[in-house]
Structure 1
């Protein structure tokens, strides 16, 4: 059976990576710690590793509410500790009275250091406080080299994971039906829009799936996809429950309040 046919062509790289990790653990009988994975990548990982084999998967993003998580693949008999995920929480100190620092500014500055996105977990913001999670192996490098974010000069300090800022937003889950899993249909159902308006928003570049702008209304959505729309917030396709008698798809969607 061709594994790739169950996923998107663009996901071939993460599929190959997961299969390599799985083979490494099976061959060496030793745990494998991954970089941070987004929810869709976590879904692919769990789908390929399965739940009934000799390997299991554990996930952690630091605080319990984190979206991006590191995965620990390990032999089924192995035990692990939270410290094995090697995650550090960094707080950004800056003159909040004079400048504003927001999520895009932080991400842009982190990426300018030349590190992969996978080395960083969630960016947490509330009121004037900003934190981000990162892989332990790059924490010292980041603290030494990140001196400014946007127009603000910053200093960084490491804080305990249990000191993580919990974002102000909350999520609610709703069930709905869609005629197809096309992005325009799913988007229209989530936000109670006309199909025409959802198509226009996609074509205008206002829609991202898993943090990547999608320009095609016919893009097919899948489980664990994060869908964000400028001006409407974020939604997550939690699960696809199958078809109704009228041949519509039943889906469960998490919506950000």
Structure 2
């Protein structure tokens, strides 16, 4: 695959991501072995999906350990095992690992997602080596790249917060599925411009919303958007880094003053 096709991409980060994907595709073809990328956020997944469609590359699968995960790795596989992949007859335990942290009684219910993620970052683990972190009151199942598994098993218990915790590797089919609670909120805006909606969702001024956009912290349908005037539609998904993920569920009408009433799931 000729890397000159990347010249049409102006964003250097996008070029680097796609270049790495191309390398993985080349390794897969030459070695006839499954190749796996680091974990990708939704925006990077969308970028790669569009690229692969244009290049007519089909022997791939985005996988995060179990169905329904947000952060996924890209698996590139030889064509000869396509039927096995499609029939779910290939185990991915070799490529993606899971560490389970079970808290002692005195710590049950004390830790949230940010506590577990912060612990991994403190140990020097890069974000791209970490998939979803599935948290309940008793602990967490942390999906990770295989290359950091042994290090984490050896070092997580050195952290004060996990000194009394049970830490072990589990299989992918042992992951506890945690239902994420969602709430529906109602906001009113003068128009469906993105900056208006960001201001309401982030509880900030319009000028601050524009700063958030300029800082490239906003994604609409997994695409990074910086244009304040972009029109938002029903069913659009909006991610604001540092604030969370939102979906425009319904535009229900107008207030007496003409403002638009929107139901948003968060």
Normalising by structure 1, what TM-score? 0.66
Are residues 47 and 115 of structure 1, via their aligned partners in 2, closer, same or farther at CA, if it must alter by over 3 Å? same
Whole-angstrom CA distance in 1 between matches of 2:132 and 2:211: 28
Are residues 7 and 123 of structure 1, via their aligned partners in 2, closer, same or farther at CA, if it must alter by over 3 Å? farther
Q: 1:200 aligns with which of 205, 208, 212?
A: 208
Q: 2:143 aligns with which of 130, 133, 152?
A: 133
Are residues 207 and 149 of structure 1, via their aligned partners in 2, closer, same or farther at CA, if it must alter by over 3 Å? farther
Q: Structure 1 or 2: larger helix share?
A: 2
Q: 1:142 aligns with which of 152, 164, 167?
A: 152
Q: 1:227 aligns with which of 240, 248, 255?
A: 240
Q: Deviations over 1:176-204 (max 9, x none)?
A: x955xx6x256358x498xx735425648
Count of residue pairs brought into register by the alignment: 225
Aligned with 2:59: secondary structure?
A: strand
- Consecutive unaligned residues in structure 1, runs of 5 or more: 238-253
Partner of 2:103: 94
Partner of 2:70: 67
Whole-angstrom CA distance in 1 between matches of 2:140 and 2:173: 15
- Consecutive unaligned residues in structure 2, runs of 5 or more: 185-190, 249-263
Cα RMSD for the two superposed structures: 4.2
Partner of 1:168: 179
**Preserved CA contact (<8 Å) 1:43 1:224:** no
Aligned with 2:151: secondary structure?
A: helix
Aligned with 2:131: secondary structure?
A: strand
Whole-angstrom CA distance in 2 between matches of 1:224 and 1:86: 30
**Preserved CA contact (<8 Å) 1:30 1:74:** yes
| 1:2-13 → structure 2 map (5 Å cutoff) | 3=6, 5=8, 8-13=11-16
Are residues 225 and 56 of structure 1, via their aligned partners in 2, closer, same or farther at CA, if it must alter by over 3 Å? farther
**Preserved CA contact (<8 Å) 1:54 1:75:** no
Whole-angstrom CA distance in 2 between matches of 1:56 and 1:2: 20
Whole-angstrom CA distance in 2 between matches of 1:217 and 1:65: 30
Whole-angstrom CA distance in 2 between matches of 1:147 and 1:171: 32
Whole-angstrom CA distance in 1 between matches of 2:145 and 2:228: 36
**Preserved CA contact (<8 Å) 1:126 1:166:** no
Rg larger for: 2
Matched, 1:33 2:36: yes
Whole-angstrom CA distance in 2 between matches of 1:25 and 1:220: 40
